[in-house]
Structure 1
C-alpha cells in the first residue's frame, strides 16, 4: 500500500492525520481517490470548492499532481475525499485497487481522536450569548475590545472547566 507523505492543496501544505490513496474501480470507470483525516479548519476552508489543484508526495518519492474534485465525508472526524477520473489506471500500478464490490475499505479514523486533531489546529467559532447582568458590568463590557473579551472569556472558561474536572 502506498503511503502519503504530504499533501498540498492549491499550493498550501495541509496537516494530515491519516490518509489512504488508491484507485477505485467501478463497472464503467476508474478514479484516483485520496481520503484524508484533516482538521476542522481544512474541511471548512475547502468544503465548498468544486475543484482543487492537488500535489501528493508519496513516501517512495513519487509526486502526483492533479486537479481533483472534493467531497466532505461524513463520520466522527473531519475527512475529505479527493478524486479524479483516470484514463489509464495502469499508470498507477503502485497503488492499491479497490472495487465497489470489495469488502476492504480503509478505516482512517482508527486510533485518532478529535482532541488530538484540535491540539494541532483548534477552530474558533462565533457565539452570541444573551446575559442578564448589572448595568455597570454591561457598560464595562461594551467599552472593551472584542479581542480582549475573547481572551478573557477563553481564560475564564478554561479555568472554570479545570476546576470542574478536578
Structure 2
C-alpha cells in the first residue's frame, strides 16, 4: 500500500520568479503613478499649500519615488522577459537588491509624506492603504524568493 503525500504542490522556481516579478512590476507601476500624480497635483494630497522647505521636500521625495519606481518596474519587466536560464544566481540577487531599493524608497516616501508633510488630502488615504497592502505582499514574496533562491 502506498502513501500519498499531503503536501501542497510546489510551484517551479522559474515560474515563481516570473510571478513575483509580475507582482513587483504592478507595485512599481502603482507607486510610479501615485508619485507622479503627487508631483503634478499636490493639492490632491495636501489640504494646505506647501511652501519653502516643505515644497522642496515634496519635490525631492516625489521625484525620488518616480525614479526608483521606474527602476523597479523596468527591473521586474526585464526579469519577466528574460529566459529562465538567465534568471539564476547573480541576476536574481541583483533584481532583489534593486527591488529592495524601490521598497526602501517607498517606505521613506510614505513616512515623509505622512509625518513630515502631514498629507491629509483626498488621495492620501488611498495611497497609504495601497502602499501598505502592496508593501506587505511584496515583503512576503521577497522573503519567499530569498528562501527559494
- Both proteins in one fold, TM over 0.5: no
Category of TM-score, reference length = shorter chain: under 0.3
Q: TM-score, normalised by structure 1?
A: 0.24
Structure showing greater relative contact order (alpha-carbon pairs closer than 8 Å, 6 or more residues apart) = 2
Higher share in helix: 2
Q: TM-score, normalised by structure 2?
A: 0.25
Based on CA coordinates, which of the two structures has the bigger radius of gyration? 1
